[in-house]
Amino acid sequence: MDHNDHVNLIRGGVTQSSGVWADLGSGGGAFTLALADLLGDNAQIYSIDRDSNVLNQQRDAIRKRFPNRRVNYQTADFTRKLDLPPLDGLIMANSLHFVRHKEPVLELVRGYLKPGSSLILVEYNTDRGNTWVPYPMTFETWRELAAKNGFKDTRLLFSRPSRFLDEIYSALSFS
């Protein structure tokens, strides 16, 4: 996948050009970059990952491509309580599939979001994991899990073939 694929996966869930957003488990920053592309210079983005090296690489990439974007980088584990302001939106792209027991994390996530705010999930469309993607979930599984954990109006945003686990999708849910 390239940058345009990342943007297309989340575009339908990023409907404003400002606000405070977070990318949990941001890794190399592909979706942080996509978020920076969709949000304007007045937005604030929090990029959270356990690996400070990948956050430093992200910082360089975002400064080069979007020098006026405001991004706060935090080395932290998103499965534990984070110090974040109330969020207008949050992305979890290819990160929740590393968590076996998702409910406690979703409770934290819901607590970060302002009422009615957006949660965008990007995930492989399968319920069968492997060594590299241990706990993925289909869109239907996500819709049920989201509802059980207080999220509303879950809908499919976009899907595309993936060379890894056949298909990847994005979904939008509201707090």
Q: What's the first-to-final CA gap in the chain, in angstroms? A: 29
Bridge partners of 92? 121
Domain 3-174: give its CATH superfamily: Vaccinia Virus protein VP39 (3.40.50.150)
The ranges assigned to domains in the chain are 3-174
pTM for this model (two decimals): 0.95
Strand order in the sheet with 166-174: 70-75, 44-49, 20-24, 87-93, 113-124, 166-174, 152-162
pLDDT 10s digits, 14-63: 988 889 999 999 999 999 999 999 998 999 999 999 999 999 999 999 99
SS3 123: strand
SS3 81: coil
